[in-house]
Amino acid sequence: MPEHPPPPPGSINHPPMLDLTIDNITPNVERINSQSGDRRLTYLMSRLTSHLHDFARETRLSSEEWMAALDFLVGCGQISSDVRHEFILLSDVLGLSLLVDSINHPKPSRSTEGSVLGPFHTHDAPVLPNGSLMSHDPEGEPMLAVCRIVSTDGKPLPGAMVDIWETDSSGHYDVQHAGRQDPSERCILESDADGRFCFRGIKPVSYPIPNDGPVGKLLEKLKRHCWRPAHVHFMFQKDGYDNLITALYLRGDPFVESDAVFGVKASLVIDLEKITAEWLESEKKEGRTYEGVKEGEWLLKRDFVLVTEEETKALRNKNAKEAMEVMGLKVRLEDGLPVPEIDASDLD
């Protein structure tokens, strides 16, 4: 049984809250949530309360709908595990993930665009040498990926760590298989002196996001499909550069224009090629050989353009300032994040 904690000093000294109504509850809740001295937290709670309450007022949310929503949220928490995050999935299908990524990782036009992380990235992918086989699925169609990482001024970026993950040929990530032992269809590579990295995977396939939980049931109610177009995930990390979370999508996939999680950008849609004797020969002339690959197998070629942290931060701040002006919000930026111009503690 929890002990009964004493109230923090001052926490019962605010204006009395009696007779809260539909019309006056919001400012009262905002005020009581403004005592932490953490301006950012105050701002987040104030906007959250305002939107949550307006949602209830605008929809005249019924008690039954309220209860159903709270039970839905419990269900999302209870189906989540170390290898499944139903709230990321919920955020994905509501477009929030894409939006948050766009806000945090703005891309100048000459760089590679971002896409959603999704719920299937893990932290146990093996670090492999370039050229390694990262898929152990005998049913998959072999695909060699030959890529390069450059800066926005076209210089190769060596020593970048690249996290790569995709499904097997049945459209499931390794973590979706019961009894998963070792990671498969995932690896971490390091770009070489020329900024290059390469791996042997399989041609990605379209697949449904997990549809056996509350989020799947929601999509069903909404008569939405739960499919993602075929893609390979990439995450790039290099000191001094903004982390890039992105994916490449296959042109011609039936779901490329209706991705259930809104991740597709036109610039990230690619055509696979086929490996030819000529290409292998020309690569060999450059001193690059690929063990275990055969003519006629799939070939993914792609350059990725990373942006410096500095440029990203400047662009993010510029976007934030412009947005605040357009929305007419009385805030200032602290560490790039909006906080109230004046908060309750200034008034004490």
> Closest CB to its own copies among 223 and 285?
223
User: DSSP letter string over 116-156?
Assistant: ---TT--S-PPB--TT-B----TTSPEEEEEEEEEETTS-B
- The C-alpha atoms of residue 177 and residue 179 are separated, in whole angstroms, by 6
334 beta partners: 337
Report phi then psi at 53, rounded to 5.
-70, -40
- The C-alpha atoms of residue 164 and residue 201 are separated, in whole angstroms, by 10
Q: In this chain, which stretch among 121-129, 281-289, 297-305, 315-323 interacts with its own copies, using CB under 8 A?
A: 315-323
Cβ proximity of 121 and 185 under 8 Å: no
> Closest CB to its own copies among 45 and 280?
45
Q: Which one, of 187, 195, 191, 306, lies nearest residue 246 by Cα? A: 306
Question: Binding-site residue total for its own copies (CB under 8 A)?
Answer: 114
Give min distance, CB of 195 to its own copies, in A: 25
> Closest CB to its own copies among 196 and 225?
225
Cβ proximity of 130 and 189 under 8 Å: yes
Q: In the window 272-291, what residues touch its own copies (CB under 8 A)?
A: none
52 in contact with its own copies (CB under 8 A): yes
Give min distance, CB of 17 to its own copies, in A: 6
Give min distance, CB of 86 to its own copies, in A: 8
Q: Which residue in 132, 246, 248, 255 binds its own copies (CB under 8 A)?
A: 255
Give min distance, CB of 92 to its own copies, in A: 11
Q: In the window 178-237, what residues touch its own copies (CB under 8 A)?
A: 178, 207-208, 210-212, 216, 221-227
> Closest CB to its own copies among 175 and 299?
175
Q: At what angle do helices 96-104 and 309-327 cross, to 10 degrees?
A: 120
Q: In this chain, which stretch among 71-79, 132-140, 194-202, 281-289 interacts with its own copies, using CB under 8 A?
A: 71-79
Give min distance, CB of 22 to its own copies, in A: 5
Q: Which residue in 88, 147, 175, 305 binds its own copies (CB under 8 A)?
A: 88
76 in contact with its own copies (CB under 8 A): yes
Q: Which residue in 232, 264, 299, 300 binds its own copies (CB under 8 A)?
A: 264
Residues labelled catalytic: 173, 207, 228, 231, 233
- The C-alpha atoms of residue 199 and residue 333 are separated, in whole angstroms, by 42
137 in contact with its own copies (CB under 8 A): no
110 in contact with its own copies (CB under 8 A): no
Burial label, 283 (beta-carbon count in 10 A; 0-12, 13-18, 19+): middle
Q: Which one, of 25, 84, 99, lies nearest residue 57 by Cα? A: 25
- The C-alpha atoms of residue 344 and residue 36 are separated, in whole angstroms, by 10
8 in contact with its own copies (CB under 8 A): yes
26 in contact with its own copies (CB under 8 A): yes
Helix ranges (H only) for the chain are 25-32, 39-59, 63-79, 86-93, 96-104, 214-221, 277-285, 309-327, 344-347
- Tell how strand 337-340 and strand 331-334 pair up: antiparallel
Q: Which residue in 104, 122, 237, 308 binds its own copies (CB under 8 A)?
A: 104
248 in contact with its own copies (CB under 8 A): no
The binding track of 148-177 with respect to its own copies, each residue x by CB under 8 A or -, is -----------------------xx---xx
